[in-house]
């Protein structure tokens, strides 16, 4: 999980080309650029329009309306442009068939857990259905409730309509009220302090960051690993591959730095290291958080830290 600056999405969402949307029910909120004459939409206007409608509807009418007006998908293009074709929860690569915008706080029903069947909000956070701050680009592996098909007797994972809260330290927000006093137990990629609560190893395993000294944060990491399905075998395998690619070029750079007298050979090893690590740690790269953890581990090792400092990594 890498930090997602939602402000980058918001800035672009202020001026969305109508030619890329072309939805008749939004024609009344179009605005025209005075210089170019081109027509645009603002997401703030889209949210305001839908919210004014759904506030007047009963539960069943509202649910039907939201289901038939999934305009949040307009934002997919912007999200991909800014942060690449990867899931914000798992960092796994996603194709068009798997791509969806998840409502971090569920738009219909929000459940606390599976075991006790506790439902915190039967109507969900409907007033946030069109709120940009509530959107996360997700792959189906993280969002759909199912078992790991590659593991026998695995537990059901995937977020679905689960949104567990810490009800000892927080509350359940009332409809149309502030969510400020809620304490979600799911890590959130748009919260900078959340993304560092997960760590990885050379086998591709994911676990709560060992430096966590807070019981609640450790619990949040464990719950998120399960509900975002981050411990899937196929994800572990992909993360392991990224780790190995990073480790291989770092080891090689160190080897040539320590033992080679050939200037050209050292230069080539250094170039390969810089290119690979820069590519793998790029925000848009799949499993870039794994590459970052791998790099940071080597930075703490004597000898390797000198090479990585030399290469400005």
- pLDDT tens by residue, 256-271: 988 888 888 889 999 9
> Are 233 and 274 contacting, i.e. CB atoms less than 8 angstroms apart?
no
The neighbouring-strand residues paired with 31 are 40
pLDDT digits (tens, 9 = 90+) for 138-193: 988 887 755 444 454 445 556 889 999 999 988 999 999 999 999 999 999 999 99
pLDDT digits (tens, 9 = 90+) for 119-132: 999 999 999 999 99
Question: What's the pLDDT at 149?
Answer: 47
Whether the predicted pLDDT of 274 surpasses 90: yes
* Mean pLDDT on 92-99: 80
Q: Which two tokens stand for residue 281?
A: 């740690």
The C-alpha R_g of the chain, in whole angstroms, comes to 22
How far is residue 286's CA from residue 239's CA, in Å, rounded to a whole number?
9
> Are 288 and 2 contacting, i.e. CB atoms less than 8 angstroms apart?
yes
Which ranges constitute the DSSP H helices of the chain?
6-12, 43-54, 59-68, 76-83, 140-143, 192-195, 215-227, 233-259, 263-281, 288-299, 304-310
> Are 194 and 187 contacting, i.e. CB atoms less than 8 angstroms apart?
yes
Percent of the chain with pLDDT over 90: 81
Only one residue has tokens 């980058």, namely 8
How far is residue 238's CA from residue 152's CA, in Å, rounded to a whole number?
20
Question: What's the pLDDT at 143?
Answer: 75
pLDDT digits (tens, 9 = 90+) for 207-239: 999 999 999 999 999 999 999 999 999 999 999
- For helices 263-281 and 288-299, angle between their N-to-C axes, nearest 10 degrees: 130
* Mean pLDDT on 19-26: 92
b/e for 37-64, b at 16 or more Cβ within 10 A?
A: eebbbebebbbebbbeebeeeeeeebbe
Whether the predicted pLDDT of 111 surpasses 80: yes
* DSSP three-state, residue 138: strand
pLDDT digits (tens, 9 = 90+) for 27-67: 999 999 999 999 999 999 999 999 999 999 999 999 999 99
- Sign (positive or negative) of CA dihedral 130, 133, 139, 145: negative
pTM (two decimals): 0.91
């Amino acid at each position: 999980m890498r930090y997602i600056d939602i402000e980058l999405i918001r800035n672009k969402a202020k001026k969305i080309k109508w030619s890329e949307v072309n939805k008749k029910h939004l024609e009344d909120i179009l605005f025209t650029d005075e210089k170019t004459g081109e027509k645009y939409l603002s997401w703030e206007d889209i949210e305001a329009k839908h919210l004014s409608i759904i506030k007047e509807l009963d539960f069943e009418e509202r649910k039907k309306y939201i289901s038939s007006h999934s305009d949040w998908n307009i934002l997919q293009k912007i999200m991909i442009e800014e942060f690449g074709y990867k899931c914000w929860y798992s960092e796994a690569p996603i194709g068009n068939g798997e791509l969806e915008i998840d409502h971090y706080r569920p738009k219909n029903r929000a459940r606390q857990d599976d075991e006790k069947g506790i439902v915190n909000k039967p109507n969900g956070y409907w007033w946030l259905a069109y709120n940009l701050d509530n959107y996360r680009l997700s792959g189906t592996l993280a969002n759909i409730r199912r078992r790991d098909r590659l593991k026998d007797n695995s537990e059901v994972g995937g977020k679905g309509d689960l949104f567990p809260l810490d009800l000892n330290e927080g509350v359940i927000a009332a409809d149309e009220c502030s969510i400020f006093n809620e304490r979600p137990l799911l890590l959130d990629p748009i919260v900078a302090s959340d993304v560092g609560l997960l760590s990885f190893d050379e086998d591709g395993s994911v676990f709560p960051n060992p430096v966590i000294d807070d019981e609640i944060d450790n619990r949040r990491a464990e719950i998120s690993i399960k509900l975002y399905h981050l411990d899937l075998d196929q994800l572990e395998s992909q993360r392991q591959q990224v780790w190995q690619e990073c480790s291989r070029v770092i080891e090689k750079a160190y080897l040539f730095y320590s033992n080679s007298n050939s200037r050209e050979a050292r230069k080539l090893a250094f170039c390969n290291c810089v290119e690979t690590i820069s590519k793998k740690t790029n925000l848009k790269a799949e499993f870039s958080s794994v590459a970052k953890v791998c790099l940071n581990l080597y930075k703490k090792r004597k000898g390797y830290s000198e090479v990585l400092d030399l290469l400005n990594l």
